[in-house]
Structure 1
Amino acid sequence: MRRYPVAVVGAGNMGGAMVARLCDGEIPVVVCDIDPLRQQQALAAGASLADTPALAAAMLGEEGLLIVCVVDADQSRSVLFGAAGAADRLLPGQTVMLCPTIAPQDTESLATALSERGIGCIDAPMSGGPARARDGSMSLMLAGSNLLLARHETLLARLSSRRFFVSERVGDGARTKLVNNLLAGINLVGAAEVMVLAERLGLDLPATLDVIEQSSGQSWIGSDRMRRAIAGDFEPRAHVTLLEKDTRLAVETAQAAGFDGPLGASAAAVFAQAHAAGMADLDDGALLTLLRAGRGQSH
């Protein structure tokens, strides 16, 4: 059986971009994904395929890295410890890199279960979107032992030119990502709100966004999503459900820490309303449509 330095479970928008990036660097990769289209894209990029996470893990080399790039904690748990899960075929000395945005306690729980088997864990949420994952400029928020991070530095550098070493405490990457994504959610709700206001005031939306992008109201996510939304492009690069999940998790984490801020819960409510309005599978720039219709009230 051929041995690979990297296995990727979950080759969707972000995972697939990471696979292509690794393959461009002539790093052998084996991919597991249940979607036939994603499988074909992985093959076209130069990766090999495995039918299950367990088979992907079995194809790793002695110090191989298994990248979990699925949506949530339940999927992560299933990939690692479910039927045909990877953990049963991973060997002591190998490493799992957790990339989904999940609650810190879920990251800690998974890392503990892996540690009991002698398997290392890097807490590594991502940010920046598929285009930046493809060109290696996405952000990685890394938490884990310095020894483990040093061992995989070459691969991490290939994946990201913006690596932030948060701490050695697994779970702090997840905490950092939730803080970031709560602000992203607040910024996106705000951007959609002011675009609807500009429209009601009779302003030209692309011209207004030009001004905002060079002024104090600028935010990356606002510009990225509103440019597409103004053009009527809601093809999902990031589904509404992702920031719905992330803002909810962030608010729950804040509450557990005894903090109740003025904006986070309001933003989370708007994403939940977009989902309820039938926009779950649209790009999250669809908040513009929600607010145009006079829905998405945050109070």
Structure 2
Amino acid sequence: MRIGFIGLGVMGAPMARHLADAGHQIVTVLNRSPLPAGLDAAIVGSSAEVARQSEVVITMLPDTPDVERVLVGQQGVIEGIAPGTLVIDMSSISPIATARLADTLRKSGAGYLDAPVSGGEVGAKAASLTIMVGGPKAEFEAALPLFSKLGKNITLIGERNGAGQICKIANQIIVALNIEAVAEALVFASKAGCDPATVRTALMGGFAASRVLEVHGERMIARAFAPGFRIRLHQKDLGLALESARALGVSLPNTATAQELMNACSAVDGGAEADHSSLVRALERLSGHQLSTEGV
């Protein structure tokens, strides 16, 4: 199959490589990212041309405006799409914009799935992503062989477009609040005079155990803030959560707090590009205490 893949960044590059390794021909347009090493792909001049040469078009882009530009902007996918082509947006964007984009593309005869992912760069490289899908069941089943090359936990959340994005927002709320909880607990224990590494080890054997405590707790102690998932991207996702909550009349007080802590991290030079586990640094500044000097 000829697959158009637009967005060969940290996540998109290994995802496209998995599809190429499975025997699919990748067609792409180069914007901000160069062609990744080891990826055999046909390079064309525009997103419209990607659509003309592809049976399926996948986008993996940073934010809502990027997806809108690539899909329905000048020389966008919509200008080259043929009836029956399936568009799969695997970015994490606004569910409201997703529904609007799906409606626009369907009027051109295309299919549309929103299929945001969780698992970060590690999951993208290991083809172990969690994939949350919104859209018609028939289109989901048609895309399932492709999804199976990218992830392990693949779920059709609902048959309306935007359902996948709603699930991804819920995921990002849980992850952010877990990061905040782990950071608070470790800063508290450390300032009280306990070794945070020992506290983390003890907690991993109890009900407080979590993947965030395991992975990001270790990052916080080791000061290992090279980005797996950047603060600025989690800021964006929590912004989508709060925007959607306002529209729905839902109160998300702890999500708002996590967003403010990420805002505080982002205000420090380079903080927006650090891993989201670096949220702990905002709490450290408020407490006048750093967990560890390891790695500094």
Partners of 1:226 and 1:288 within 8 A in 2:
no
After superposition, the Cα gap between the structure-2 partners of 1:40 and 1:100, relative to the gap in structure 1 and judged at 3 Å, is: closer
Partners of 1:11 and 1:19 within 8 A in 2:
yes
Q: TM-score, normalised by structure 1?
A: 0.90
Cα distance between partner residues in 1 of 2:180 and 2:106: 39
Among 37, 40, 49, the residue aligned to 1:46:
40
Partners of 2:128 and 2:151 within 8 A in 1:
yes
Among 93, 102, 108, the residue aligned to 1:111:
102
Runs (4+) of structure 1 exceeding 4 A deviation are none
- Residue 280 of structure 1: aligned partner: 272
Among 58, 61, 66, the residue aligned to 2:52:
58
- Residue 15 of structure 1: aligned partner: 12
5 Å-filtered alignment, 1:50-199, equals 50-60=44-54, 64-199=55-190
Instruction: Give the 3-state SS of the residue equivalent to 2:38 in structure 1.
Output: helix
After superposition, the Cα gap between the structure-2 partners of 1:189 and 1:107, relative to the gap in structure 1 and judged at 3 Å, is: same
Cα distance between partner residues in 2 of 1:223 and 1:115: 43
Q: Which amino acid aligns with 1:293?
A: R
Instruction: Give the 3-state SS of the residue equivalent to 2:34 in structure 1.
Output: helix
Cα distance between partner residues in 2 of 1:295 and 1:210: 23
Deviation at 1:270, TM superposition (A): 1.3
Partners of 2:90 and 2:114 within 8 A in 1:
yes
Is 1:32 the equivalent of 2:29?
yes
After superposition, the Cα gap between the structure-2 partners of 1:295 and 1:269, relative to the gap in structure 1 and judged at 3 Å, is: farther
Deviation at 1:183, TM superposition (A): 1.2
Partners of 1:31 and 1:39 within 8 A in 2:
no
Contiguous gaps of at least 5 residues in structure 1? none
5 Å-filtered alignment, 1:194-205, equals 194-205=185-196
After superposition, the Cα gap between the structure-2 partners of 1:30 and 1:228, relative to the gap in structure 1 and judged at 3 Å, is: farther
After superposition, the Cα gap between the structure-2 partners of 1:198 and 1:115, relative to the gap in structure 1 and judged at 3 Å, is: same
Identity %: 27
Q: CA RMSD in A?
A: 1.9
Cα distance between partner residues in 1 of 2:202 and 2:126: 28
Query: Which range moved further: 217-226 or 79-88?
Result: 217-226
Cα distance between partner residues in 1 of 2:80 and 2:204: 49
Instruction: Give the 3-state SS of the residue equivalent to 1:67 in structure 2.
Output: strand
Q: TM-score, normalised by structure 2?
A: 0.90
Partners of 1:21 and 1:133 within 8 A in 2:
no
Partners of 2:183 and 2:220 within 8 A in 1:
no
Is 1:230 the equivalent of 2:224?
no
Query: Which range moved further: 153-162 or 216-225?
Result: 216-225
Cα deviations across residues 108-136 of structure 1 (Å, max 9, x unaligned)? 01101101101110011100111212222
Cα deviations across residues 135-194 of structure 1 (Å, max 9, x unaligned)? 221111011111111222211211222101111111111111111111111111111222
Query: Which range moved further: 8-17 or 226-235?
Result: 226-235
After superposition, the Cα gap between the structure-2 partners of 1:171 and 1:206, relative to the gap in structure 1 and judged at 3 Å, is: same
Query: Which range moved further: 160-169 or 276-285?
Result: 276-285
- Residue 291 of structure 1: aligned partner: 283
The number of residue pairs the alignment matches comes to 287
Instruction: Give the 3-state SS of the residue equivalent to 1:293 in structure 2.
Output: helix
Deviation at 1:24, TM superposition (A): 2.4
Cα distance between partner residues in 2 of 1:109 and 1:295: 44
Deviation at 1:220, TM superposition (A): 1.9
Cα distance between partner residues in 1 of 2:194 and 2:109: 60
Deviation at 1:295, TM superposition (A): 7.1
Partners of 1:213 and 1:223 within 8 A in 2:
yes
